Amino acid sequence: MRDIYDVTIIGGGAAGLYSAFYAGLRNMKTKIIEFQSQLGGKVQLFPEKTIWDIGGQPPITGGAFIQQLIEQGMTFNPTVHLNTKVLEITKNKEQLFEIETNNGTHFSKTVIVAVGGGIINPQKLKVAGAEKVNLKNLHYVVREYEQFRGQTVLISGGGNTAIDWANELKDIAQSIHVVYRGDQLSAHESQVEYLQSHANIHLNTSIEEVFADQATNAITHTNLVNQLDEKYAVAVDHIIVSHGFDMDQTIKYSFDQPLLRVDDFYIKTDAKLNTDIPGVFAAGDIASYDGKVNLLIGCFQDAANAVNRAKQFIEPEAEKVAMVSSHNNRVQKNYVLEK
C-alpha cells in the first residue's frame, strides 16, 4: 500500500529543515528527501565557521547551528530519507506527485523544493599543478582549524566564506594571504575592514600554478599573476579555495507545462513561494523572486510561506498561517520550557 504524504521536502538543508518544523506546526504528514548522508546542507561544509547574521542568535559555529536546526526540524518526527537522489517529479491521474528516486518512488500531495544550489560540488582550482590527485594541503572544505596552527595559509576567493575563513584563522595561522581576481572584495564591509589588519591582500590577482613536493604530495609554493601580468611566488603550507559551487540540480520536472526558471537554474516563484505548477513550491536559495533575501535568514521566511501555501493547497479552508508556536499544543508536547 502506498504511503502518501501531505508534503515532501526535497533537500535537508536549512530551508528544508525549517520547512519540516513549520509543516509539523501545521499538522502535516511530512517527508524529507536528502541526497547527502546527513542533514544540514551546505552549512555542514563549514562546521567551525562562525555565523554572525541570524536574528536573535549570538555568533555561533556552523556545526552547532546545524545541530540546533536538525533538532528543531525533527520536532514532529518527519520521515527522512538520506542518500536518496530525486530523479524526476511527475503528477499522476490521482493528482498526486510521484517522486522518483534512486531508492524507489514516493507519493505526496504537495512538494517543496529546497535544494539550495543543488548537489554540493565545490568549484575546483583549475591551474597547472592542481590536477594532481589528493594534494593533502589543498582544501575546498574546512572542517577544523587546528591543522592551520602556525602555518602560512593562502585563501583564493573574495566572498563571504573566504573572508570569514581568513578572519577566523587570524589567531591560529602564522600568516594569511587572500588572493582575489577582482579589484574589490565582495564580502560584508565590516569583515573586509577587519581583514585588512592581519592579512596580505592580493587584488586583481589569481593563482597561475601550484608546485608540490613529490615525496610528500604537499604544495610548497604557488605562482601568482596580477592584471599587469606580473608574476611572483608565495611559499605556502596550505591553500584554501573558495570559488563557490557548481550548480548541479538535475531533477527532471515532467508536467504538462514547464517549470519556469531564472538563469536556466533557479526556480521562479512569487513572493509567497508559489511556482507556476500548482502544488509545487520552493524555498531557500533555489527560489527566485523580486525582493528575495539571499542570506541564510531569508530561507526561514521562504520555508514558512511555502508550507502555508502547501497547507492551503491541500485544505483551501485552512488558516493562512500556522498558530503562534508559543500557543501551539503540538510544540508544548515536545518541549518542556523553563519558567
Integer Cα distance of 17 and 31 in angstroms: 10
Q: Which CATH number fits domain 4-120+245-334: 3.30.1360.10, 3.50.50.60, 3.40.190.10, 3.40.50.300?
A: 3.50.50.60
CA quadruple 18, 20, 23, 27: dihedral sign: negative
pTM: 0.80
> What is the biggest distance separating any 2 CA atoms in the chain, rounded to whole angstroms?
70
Query: What pLDDT sits at residue 339?
Result: 40
Check: CB of residue 99 under 8 Å from CB of residue 86: yes
Name every residue whose Cβ is closer than 8 Å to that of residue 336 and which is 6 or more positions away in sequence: none
Render each residue's pLDDT in the chain as its tens digit; 339 residues: 689 999 999 999 999 999 999 999 999 999 999 999 999 998 888 888 888 888 888 999 999 999 999 999 999 999 999 999 999 999 999 999 999 999 999 999 999 999 988 766 788 999 999 988 789 999 998 888 999 999 999 999 999 889 999 999 999 999 999 999 999 999 889 999 999 999 999 999 999 999 999 999 999 999 999 999 999 999 999 999 999 887 766 799 999 999 999 988 899 999 999 999 999 999 999 999 999 988 888 999 999 999 999 999 999 999 998 876 666 666 666 665 544
* Residue whose C-alpha cell reads 524526476 in the numeric block: 88
Integer Cα distance of 105 and 108 in angstroms: 10
Report which residue type is found at 229. Answer: D
Integer Cα distance of 96 and 4 in angstroms: 8
The three-class DSSP label of residue 59 is coil
Question: Which candidate, 224, 237, 40, places its Cα nearest to that of 139?
Answer: 237
Query: What pLDDT sits at residue 1?
Result: 65
- Cell reading at 241: 579555495
Pairing of strands 4-10, 104-113: parallel
CA dihedral 291→294→299→304, nearest 10 degrees, is 0
76 is in an annotated binding site: no
Name every residue whose Cβ is closer than 8 Å to that of residue 184 and which is 6 or more positions away in sequence: 158, 203
Integer Cα distance of 142 and 161 in angstroms: 10
288 is in an annotated binding site: no
Give me the CATH topology for the region 124-241: FAD/NAD(P)-binding domain (3.50.50)
34 is in an annotated binding site: yes
Query: What pLDDT sits at residue 261?
Result: 93
**What stretch(es) of the chain map to CATH 3.50.50.60?**
4-120+245-334, 124-241
46 is in an annotated binding site: yes
Question: Which candidate, 161, 153, 157, places its Cα nearest to that of 188?
Answer: 161
The per-residue pLDDT for range 311-338, each reduced to its tens digit, is 999 999 999 988 766 666 666 666 655 4
Check: CB of residue 174 under 8 Å from CB of residue 93: no
120 is in an annotated binding site: yes
